[in-house]
Amino acid sequence: MAEVELVFLGTGGGRFATITQKRKTGGIRYLSKSLNMHLDPGPGALIYSLEMGLNPQKIMAVLVSHSHPDHYTNAEILIEAMTRGMLKKRGIVAAPHSVLFGNEETGPAISRYHQKMPEKVIEVKPGVVFHVGDTRIVATEAKHSDLDAVGFRFETQEVGDIAYTSDTEYFEGVGKAYEGVRLLILCVMRPSGNPWMGHMTPEDAIKIVEEVKPEMAVATHFGMKMIFSGPNRQVKLIEEKTGVPTLAAFDGMRLRVGEKIRVERTGRKQSGLEEFLKHG
């Protein structure tokens, strides 16, 4: 059976986790036999990619969920890598209005210069469907301080569906867009009993997981309060309440989705610079 591999190049989120790098903030690399995408390339996405031996020039798409620095900061440099130094019109960028054009609160986060070189730039909003290779991607609704924020659902024929909520608070109907997914990745930034508007706590995650009933859930994007509270202990609450196997992601985690979903903890096999030079 084919596999999708998700490499967590950072599991931190929010201002102070980003500033201190208590948890890295490089986003998620999505890899399969025919696909190479980077999701939410926050600060460090380029460097952490190289450290993990992931050549940024092989990226086929850059997806950004909203216009906050912990989600977009390295988007432009990854676009430069994807387009081979802005010399080859190549790849896809998918992002909401705030990222591409700005809104009343924030953005734009990707310059007009950088938007000229990908083969396709897609403005996403809830319900927008697009394809990268043979993967069908649906933008999903999120409720966040960036009102244009979205999540993503990745629909594959080989391994089933995978979804990423991005930053969102709980709202009625949020789980509907994720029904039937095998793997649900949730941005659980705040610990139990410490809600913050536009973000998720374990209590919110429990509601979503109970609605969706995925094969597995993964919590990531931890803020400082969550980090100090202990993500493993906090996420255990979700599993105990829902009965769905739930993991607290860790920096460098590789999650393989195939016939089964399995986790690997791998160190750097060679320097990222060596890998970059070898395949660049």
The pTM score is 0.93
As a whole number, the mean pLDDT across the chain is: 94
pLDDT, tens digit, for every residue of 53-95?
A: 999 999 999 999 999 999 999 999 999 999 999 999 999 999 9
pLDDT greater than 70 at residue 231: yes
**DSSP β-ladder status, 160-164 and 183-187:** parallel
In single-letter form, the type of residue at position 220 comes to T
Question: How many domains are contained in the chain?
Answer: 1
pLDDT, tens digit, for every residue of 159-207?
A: 999 999 999 999 999 999 999 999 999 999 999 999 899 999 999 999 9
DSSP codes joined into one string, the chain? ---EEEEEEE-B-SHHHHHHTSS-EEEEEEEETTEEEEES--TTHHHHHHHTT--GGG--EEE--SSSHHHHTTHHHHHHHHTTTTTS---EEEE-HHHHT--SSS---S-HHHHTSSSEEEE--TT-EEEETTEEEEEEE--SSSTT-EEEEEEETTTEEEEE--S----TTGGGGGTT-SEEEEE--S-TT---TTS--HHHHHHHHHHH--SEEEEE-B-HHHHHH-HHHHHHHHHHHH-S-EEE--TTEEEEESSSEEEEE---SS-HHHHHHHH-
Give residue 103's domain range: 4-279
Give the domain CATH number at 16. 3.60.15.10
